[in-house]
Amino acid sequence: MSAPAPGALPAAVAPAWQKPPRSLLRAAGRAIAEYGMIRAGDRILLGLSGGKDSLSLLHILAHLQRVAPVRFELAAITIDPESDSFDPSPLIPYLAGLGLDYHYVREPILERAKAHMEGDSYCAWCARMKRGAMYSRARALGYNVLALAQHLDDLAESFLMSAFHGGRLKTMKACYLNDAGDVRVIRPLVFARERQLRDFATRAGLPVIPENCPACFAMPTRRMHMKQLLAAEEAGNPQLFRALLSAMRPLMAADTAGLIQSMHGGRPREAAER
């Protein structure tokens, strides 16, 4: 790891593997099975931001690694964008205490944005730069799978944003190959709700890194508006997310045929970002 470890973590977040609740394990297991996300011999690199979602997925995948019949390797990676207001470095001693292979990569994304970003939001630009850095490190280290922690609420928000502002029916894919065809991207939490992850992270005392980037919170974002809209609608319709999942399923699996074809020697399909 390239970054020095900061001081010891508070006792409340002393590193220890936590067993996720059965409901989360069921949701993740169903997604993994339905989309064929994890196969024997996979080397999985988890994108760990330090938020509640990725920390929860870390413990879910580690638990499955211990109990599932399919054998796979697991490691984690954090891309530090070198922002004065966002410091994920407390993850370094936490992952060391867990004994997991961990890669902490510093990338001057904020400085690059000032010089190169044109006609885009900083959040979207930063996400693409982080994803590219994770692909590069996965290739260099021999990992064939990149695990990301977006959940059902994220997919629903993306679905509405695409329909309202882009005029398209589109959301994130559950499982797909990157454009180069050498890294499989999986989202094991696509059937899990955000509140489930928040509850687990709180009860388990996971060391969540606050998301306090001023570029993200200087003004209300479209995604936050969609989150509020969905919350208001769900208050009167408890089955809202069940219905949305039914509507989104064909979109979540749109690249599955191309993925299967490529795994059997066919030409991988280019995947629109998801």
Using a CB cutoff of 8 Å and minimum separation of 24, what contacts does 18-21 make? 18/59, 18/200, 18/204, 18/206, 19/59, 19/63, 20/56, 20/59, 20/60, 20/63, 20/200, 21/196, 21/199, 21/200
E runs forming strands in the chain: 43-47, 73-80, 101-106, 145-147, 175-177, 184-186
The answer to whether the CB of 54 falls within 8 A of the CB of 47 is yes
Strand partners, 75: 45, 101
Distance CA(160)–CA(64), nearest Å, equals 32
Q: Residue 205: left if φ>0, alpha if ψ -120 to 50, beta else—which one?
A: left
Strand partners, 186: 147, 175
Nearest to 51 by CA among 193, 159, 200, 209: 209
CA distances from 32 to 2, 64, 112, 247 (A): 32, 11, 36, 19
Give Rg (Cα) of the chain: 18
Q: How would DSSP label each residue in 236-266?
A: H-TTHHHHHHHHHHHHHTTTHHHHHHHHTTS
Instruction: Please give the pLDDT value at position 212.
Output: 59
Distance of alpha carbon 252 from the chain centroid: 15
Instruction: Please give the pLDDT value at position 123.
Output: 67
| Rounded (10°) angle between helices 240-252 and 152-161 | 80
CA distances from 166 to 162, 169, 224 (A): 5, 8, 17
Tell me which DSSP letter residue 12 carries.
Answer: G
Instruction: Please give the pLDDT value at position 155.
Output: 97
Domains and CATH numbers, the chain: 15-263 (3.40.50.620)
Distance CA(273)–CA(177), nearest Å, equals 11
pLDDT tens digits in sequence order for the chain, 274 residues long: 444 444 444 444 568 999 999 999 999 999 999 999 999 999 999 999 999 999 999 999 999 999 999 999 999 999 988 877 788 999 999 999 999 999 999 987 777 766 666 655 666 667 788 888 999 999 999 999 999 999 999 999 999 999 998 899 999 999 999 988 999 999 999 999 999 999 999 999 999 998 755 555 444 477 888 999 999 999 999 999 999 999 999 999 855 444 444 444 443 333 333 4
Helix (H) or strand (E) holding 204: helix 194-204
Longest CA span, the chain:
52
Tell me which DSSP letter residue 217 carries.
Answer: H
Neighbours of 112 (CB within 10 A): 15
Instruction: Please give the pLDDT value at position 26.
Output: 98
CA distances from 254 to 71, 92, 151, 258, 259 (A): 27, 37, 18, 9, 10
E runs forming strands in 32-98: 43-47, 73-80
Instruction: Please give the pLDDT value at position 1.
Output: 45
